[in-house]
Every structure is written in structure tokens, then in C-alpha cells.
Amino acid sequence: MPARGVSGYAGSRGRPARGRGSRLDDGMKHDAFHNIELRVRQKRFESWEQFLREAPEYSVALEVLDDVPGHRGHHVNFDHHAGVVREATMSAAMQAYIAVRQGRLMQRWLQKRRPVPVYVWNADQDVCLAAFVLEYHTMLERAEGMPMLRWIVQYNNKLDVCGGLYPVNLEDLVRNHFTWVFEPYRQQRIHGKVQGDERLVTTTIRLVCDRLLALLNGEAGIAPILARPDILYQSPYNYVIADEKGDPLSRLVLASAGYTNLISLICERPNGRYTYSIIRGSPYDEDIFDIPRLIEAFQAAEDYPDEKIWGGSTLAAGSDSVLGSSLHWTQLREIADRVVGEAHRRTSTPPLQYEAHFDRAPAVLLAVAPEVEMQLRPLLAQCGATVHAVGSCQQAKASLAVNPGVDAIFTSLCFSDGSFADLARHAGAGGRPVAPAVVCVDSLDAGCGDVLELGAFAVLAPPFTLEQIRWILGECMKSGAAPPVRA
């Protein structure tokens, strides 16, 4: 009996039909591509003319051509980066979806050429999903289509059009299996891509396609969001520089915390070069956070200014993912503050005022969920605080043991390995608590008496405010005992 939802692509016991398969790095047998032939380019096509000249008829380009999307004769380019209005252009996967379902692209072209050459350069979520749509085109050509596939293509479209900086409910991403489906891409991105990684690209696309088949068969798993991006710099000109630590989910964590303009350090390469992205969360902020001006300035500062290292659209751009940038993030900070600062002055937009009001920088230990951390970090930065983040009660205790000068602990109510009360009771020299524990809860509706009785110095609930955090830090830094408070 065919598996639920993927009739014609299932073998025994409801699993994807294997046919002629290939063995990948995980030792498992995986389905092979039958309708498309992935061709990984070491360098992107520079123009439509080069693509038409070097690719055979009935060829598809997936985000590998630095030119406008569309089709010319029997060549098609699915892309949404060059020569487009980003917010009004569909993602590559959505373009492929419409071409297959409404235009019957694969049905027509496979009569002329089998398999269809599909040129790629990287294996991000959009490319993986577009490759799946082309390979498993018959799922979409039926009258009923595939509702689950339609949903994930539409969801990806919203994220990708916004460069990943799209406000979502993070728990929804986990529950609906989106993070699990694209986990192979997350792993690839953490490790980085270098020249000669053609096999890594094809392997990643194949692994994501297999997970999409499992999703449609009702066999998807769960992958929690573990991203904990670091805010390296909070500019007075309303943008941040963040270290994504290679995790593409970091942008969603940042977006859920309300960040809009972002310069993102994706990874540092073994050769000392860097991969960056620049995202403007709102198309209506172009007069201030002007991405074309930024990439022009970054390009001019590179060690190879004549080699195209920076590029992109008005909403999303970045450094070349193979060559990488020579610029340290502190150099980007100086350039960006100059460019964005000039725009502020030109438009008479005053910069944000960050005043700490403290004789020294408060030292804060954060032991909260990632989404709470991202809400607190910009406020703590405006107070001039130095922040160290941990993910568990044991990590917090270990950090306190080697950093006795902490002024305040912002903590969740409970952890998998303990609770805030363990930290509130954690003693330092002389048996006194190392630092006051400020407990962050979802709501104060149920009261906070019990929490205060268990040792909390203060109880906070969102929405957090700068005045609230500044006052709490001031109270925590006062010498001597202070009464418990709620805020």
C-alpha cells in the first residue's frame, strides 16, 4: 500500500522507493536523483550570456547565476537576488513550484532531455527545496497537489524573501518539523563551504530531499533550536553585529527578539577569512541602513578590491561564500558606523542614546532561554553591561565559581538540571550568595510571592524595558542586602 501522501514514491512499509541509490557519509542508503542531474559550479555564472553559452538546452540554474531570474528559450533561472525588488520577488523554490505545478516545466522538458541538468553553487534551504520540487515534480502535477509540500514551500518563501530575518514563533518551527527537515543544511553551514566542496553540496541536497520525503510520509523527526547568537556590537544607529556561529537559525532567534538591521558573522574560516551577511529587516528603512552603500564600502576595504567579494540585493547581501572576506568584524563596525551615521545625519535622524549611569560596567550572567536572552541583551548593552550566557544550572554554577565578580544573575524559573533557587542559594566566599538572582517569568499574573520566598532578588516579566533593567542593575550593584522586589 503506498505511503500516505507520496503515492508513486514509496516502497515497502511506506518508505521512499530507493531504486538505484547512493551511499552517503552517514552510511545509510539514500534515494538517487532520476529526473534531475545536479551540476555543482565552482564559480557562479556571471551573466545570462555565459549561462546560455556554457549550459546545454533544457538547463535550470538554482541561485547560481548573477543575473535577473526568468527563462530564455530552453534555459531557466530560479533566483531572487540580482536585479530584483527583493520583497516583491518569490524565492527560488516558490518560482520552481509555480513553474512545475502551473507551467508543467518538468513534464515538458523531460520529453526533450532526461535527466534535466540543474546547476547549483550552494545548498541552502531554498536550493534544496527547489531541487526537491524539480525531482519529485509529479507530486505537484496531480490535481490535488501536495498540501504539506505547498505549506513548507510557502513558509520557506516568507523566510527567504526576508533573508531569514523574519519574526516567527520558534516553537512552531520545531513542532512543524521545519528545523528537522533542514538540519543537514544547518550542519553544512556550521562547517562552512570551501572551493572543491562539490560533493558536500550534492550530499546536503540529497539528505534534505530524503527528509522532505520522510515529512510527506509522516515520518519526520524533531530538531530543537539550539542557536545562541552573540551580539558583538549594538550600534547607536539601530543595527547590530551578531555572531551566528554558523547556525542559520540564529537569524530567526534574532528576529524573534525584535532585531531588524543586522550584520551577521556566519563563520571564521580556517584560513583566517570570514563569511558575512547583511540583512535589512524592513524595505522602508533604505534611507538609513543602505545595503548597496555598505557593500560598496566593504568591497573597497578588502584586500582584493578588484575581486567581487561583496554583493546582493537591497534587502540582503553578503560576502562571497567561497573566497570570504578579509575584514574582521571590528573593521566592518567602523565602516558601517561611518556609512550609517552619515545617513542618520543626512536624514536628521538622531542616534539612539545609550547611557549606562553606572561607575563601572555591570557584570551579568544570563541563564535564560534563547528568546529571552535576545530580548535582554540589547537592554543590558544599553546599560553598558558585560554579559556571559550559559544554558543550564550546572553551567551557571561553574561560571560563578570562576567569575565571582558577577553583579546579577538573570535566570529562568527552572532548568532541566535544577532551578533558580539552586543559584540563589549558591554560596561564595564567606557563605554569602555570589550574586542576586533576577528570575524571568512569562507573566506576573499568578503572583511572585513564592518565587521571592525561594530566594529571588527580583522577578521580571516581558515586555522588558530599559528603565526597568537599569533600575534592577542599580539595585543589584548596591552594597549590602536589599529587599526582594518585583518589576
What are the structural domains of the chain?
A: 12-216 (no CATH), 230-346 (3.10.310), 363-486 (3.40.50.2300)
Count Cβ atoms within 10 A of the Cβ of residue 20 and give its class: 0-12 exposed, 13-18 middle, 19 or more buried: exposed
Unique residue bearing C-alpha cell 512499509: 13
pLDDT on residue 29: 47
Asked if 117 and 56 touch (Cβ cutoff 8 Å), the reply is yes
Q: Tell which residue, 118, 91, 92, 129, has the closest CA to residue 205.
A: 129
Report the alpha-carbon distance of residue 3 to residue 67 in Å, rounded.
40
Residue 50's contacts (CB-CB under 8 Å, 6 or more residues apart) are none
Neighbours of 29 (CB within 10 A): 11
Pairing type for strands 458-460 and 485-486 reads: parallel
Is the omega angle on the peptide bond into residue 404 within 30 degrees of 0, that is, cis? no
**pLDDT value of position 6:** 37
CB 43 within 8 A of CB 64: no
3-class DSSP assignment, residue 90: coil
What is the predicted pLDDT for the residue at 169? 78
Q: Which long-range contacts (CB under 8 A, 24 or more apart) does 257-260 make?
A: 257/371, 257/373, 257/374, 257/375, 257/377, 257/378, 258/167, 258/374, 258/375, 259/165, 259/374, 259/378, 260/165, 260/285
Those residues whose C-beta lies under 8 Å from the C-beta of residue 366, and which sit 6 or more positions away, are 373, 376, 377, 387, 388, 389, 390, 410
Q: For residue 126, which of 205, 31, 67, 228 has the smallest C-alpha distance?
A: 205
In which residue ranges of the chain is pLDDT below 50?
Answer: 1-29, 354, 427-431, 479-487
The pLDDT value recorded for residue 60 is: 98
Q: pTM of this prediction?
A: 0.68
Specify the pairing of strand 458-460 against strand 437-440. parallel
Beta strands in 63-136 (DSSP E): 70-72, 75-78, 116-120
Give phi and psi for 274, each to the nearest 5.
-130, 155
Nearest to 480 by CA among 448, 457, 449: 457
- Give me the pLDDT at residue 481, please: 39
